[in-house]
């Protein structure tokens, strides 16, 4: 019997212009788009991969950080298995808003203890940083999440971020399957 394809739901969350879409585009397409175009509501994409010798379809839901789209965005939080919680290292407010995004996710049905949550400090390639990478990693650790410092523009740690997240999710799915069989 051929193995069934695993479906994984990953959402990107954070303030507008933090680079959520750019991180996903860098991973999926291996390129960076320098021109800023705001996400209207939700952008969706699928990437099929082999992870741990299993066929996997990653469903990306790139959620707009703009408050105008919260009614469109909020239903997409539920059942996410992976969360890319992004802040812009050159914008202190985007880091300070991370708890707001956490609350929004939990208020809309996402159990953050069940999801693979990665707090990402993006734009590490830029000089005018207002957030120290240590702050990102300490925040993630305090919350029980993973922390990563990335650059969508240069590609720094982007593949590592997603590969770690997907491996963790596949492990969780396989562990759940084993418990159900037992």
pLDDT confidence of residue 3: 66
Cα separations in angstroms, 116 against 51, 63, 112, 170: 16, 17, 8, 10
Query: 112-159, pLDDT tens digit by residue?
Result: 999 999 999 999 999 999 999 999 999 999 999 999 999 999 999 999
Is the pLDDT at 166 greater than 80? The verdict is yes
Which H or E run contains 163?
A: helix 158-181
> How does the average pLDDT of the chain come out, rounded?
92
Residue 51 vs residue 2, higher pLDDT: 51
Residues 6+ apart with CB under 8 A from 42: 61, 62, 63, 64, 69, 72, 73, 76
Token pair 């812009």 is at which residue? 88
Residues 6+ apart with CB under 8 A from 143: 102, 112, 117, 119
Domains of the chain: 6-181 (3.40.50.300)
How buried is 34 (Cβ within 10 angstroms: 0-12 exposed, 13-18 middle, 19+ buried)? exposed
Confidence of residue 95 (pLDDT cuts 50, 70, 90): very high
Is the pLDDT at 1 greater than 60? The verdict is no
Query: 43-65, pLDDT tens digit by residue?
Result: 888 999 999 999 999 999 999 88
């Amino acid at each position: 019997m051929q193995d069934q394809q695993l479906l994984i739901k990953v959402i990107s969350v954070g303030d507008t212009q933090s680079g959520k879409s750019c991180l996903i585009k860098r991973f999926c397409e291996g390129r960076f788009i320098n021109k800023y175009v705001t996400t209207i509501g939700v952008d969706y994409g699928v990437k099929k991969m082999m992870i741990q010798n299993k066929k996997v379809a990653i469903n990306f839901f790139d959620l707009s950080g703009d408050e105008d789209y919260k009614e469109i965005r909020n239903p997409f939080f539920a059942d996410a298995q992976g969360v890319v919680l992004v802040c812009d290292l050159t914008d202190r407010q985007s880091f300070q808003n991370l708890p707001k995004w956490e609350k929004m996710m939990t208020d809309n049905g996402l159990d953050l203890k069940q999801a693979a949550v990665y707090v990402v400090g993006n734009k590490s390639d830029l000089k005018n940083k207002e957030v120290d990478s240590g702050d990102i990693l300490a925040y993630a650790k305090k919350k029980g999440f993973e922390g990563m410092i990335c650059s969508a523009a240069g590609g720094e740690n982007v593949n590592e971020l997603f590969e770690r997240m997907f491996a963790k999710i596949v492990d969780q799915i396989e562990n759940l399957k084993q418990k159900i069989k037992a």
